Amino acid sequence: MMGIRPAAPRVSVGIKVKPHRPTQALIERSEFFEMSRAALAVKLNEERANPFLSFEDRRPGLHDGAAIQDQIARTRTLSEVLEAQLGELILSSRERELARFFVYNLDERGYLDLCGRRLPDGSTGPDLTIPDLAKGAGITVAAARRVLGLVQRLDPPGAGARDLRECLYAQAQVLGLGELAIQIIVDHLPDVERDDLPAIARALGVDLADVTTAVGKLRQLDPEPGRAYGPAAEAALPDLFVARVGDSFAVSHKDDGAPRVTLRGLPPGSGASPRQRVQYERARQMVTFFEERRRRLVQLMEHIVDSQHEVFARGPEHGRPLGMREIAARMRLDESTISRLTSNKFVATSFGVVELKTFFKPGVPCADGQAITPERVKMRIRRLVDAEDKTSPLSDPQLHARLQAELGVLLTRRAITKYRRAAGIGAASERRRRIGVNA
């Protein structure tokens, strides 16, 4: 009888692969790509002691790091932040001019300042009203109020309000805090200030617990949204310009305000000290990273302009879905590199200074296999609401059905509610309510 031979022990034969560790040079290259323009200027300023680097300043007085920050890091005002968003609104030319008036007449709290202006004779003119502004703009009072409501629902919501009630009301609508919170803002703010929540519950015929929850949400709102836009606000310094040239658009790098760095002298000879060799290699890397960052940014913006041509030709509301992966494939770079290049980078355009990341828009899938931008969904919701029967406003299920029929969007009803709120539009029950607005 033949015995069964025991199986030979399994031997695992393979090649051990050590995990790839990025070199210090690769890490620093990534940091260069990610730096804002102001941070880059400060970084280069730290290298001025290197004898192998030559700096060509675009304007005098940039040898001090604090001076660089003071001269080239311009703070965005609340008005500029709001104006950059006006392109997303559906407005006539006259309505757009009135919207610009609103965003450039805010006080330090972010409230609309319609107080009378000082006249040449030293006296003070009468306070302005919405009917006055509507007449001056050549539009109806209802249209002027609609424009103001849209401005108040931009980011930050509540900016452009004329009083605390309007400020909180706009924020509650945008955040979707619900009917009870809206009702408390409209009719019971004095009770909230006195912390008399039982009085609110009795007046509205609701449970005290529900009032407590709603008021808790209201206390988290910002009563003065303009305060965040002070001296410490984020700087928006453009790296790039996009300008129309005939029927096309040209991209250029903004060179003023930051030093241009180049190599100085020849590589150290055989008699150079180790320190000189290190300094030269450091200088060579700095110049390489600086020029690559500059070149890649221009290339990136050219691809963005090519992909989002309608945005530059017709306005921000005409963008198409665009992912970083698509641009990364065109430039033959990693998606993470595109993310770094767009981080903290701004471009000056005909419609304002815009962060590069805003050109990358997620797509809303449609039944035909195509995709549209969330902005287009919000625009269509706005048009449907503007055209609705005001005595019988469209509910979210009705908006959902209309959007499916007209655009073929594959969205849930909950998603439609989200887009409606993002467009600054209240629920059907809120739109049905007639809430008095100060004239």
Domain boundaries, the chain: 78-228, 240-262+283-359, 364-432
Of residues 413 and 303, more confidence is placed in 303
Q: Which position has the token pair 């600054």?
A: 424
Quick one: which of 261, 344, 338, 302 has its CA closest to 30? Answer: 338
Does the N-terminal peptide bond of residue 156 adopt cis geometry, omega within 30 degrees of 0? Answer: yes
Mean pLDDT of the chain: 81
Please give the pLDDT value at position 234.
Answer: 44
Please give the pLDDT value at position 257.
Answer: 52
Task: Please tell me whether residue 365 adopts helix, strand or coil conformation.
Answer: strand
Work out the angle between the directed axes of helices 93-103 and 141-152 (0-180°, nearest 10).
50
Please give the pLDDT value at position 121.
Answer: 58
Please give the pLDDT value at position 256.
Answer: 56
CB 106 within 8 A of CB 78: yes
Mean pLDDT for the stretch of residues 29-57: 82
- Give the tens place of pLDDT for each residue, 155-175: 889 999 999 999 999 999 988
Mean pLDDT for the stretch of residues 207-226: 90
Please give the pLDDT value at position 4.
Answer: 42
Please give the pLDDT value at position 8.
Answer: 43
Report residue 307 as tokens: 């992909």
CA 73 to CA 241: how far, in whole Å?
A: 17
Please determine, for residue 383, whether its predicted confidence score (pLDDT) is greater than 60. yes
Of residues 379 and 259, more confidence is placed in 379
Please determine, for residue 392, whether its predicted confidence score (pLDDT) is greater than 80. yes
CB 397 within 8 A of CB 420: no
Please give the pLDDT value at position 62.
Answer: 34
Please give the pLDDT value at position 124.
Answer: 64
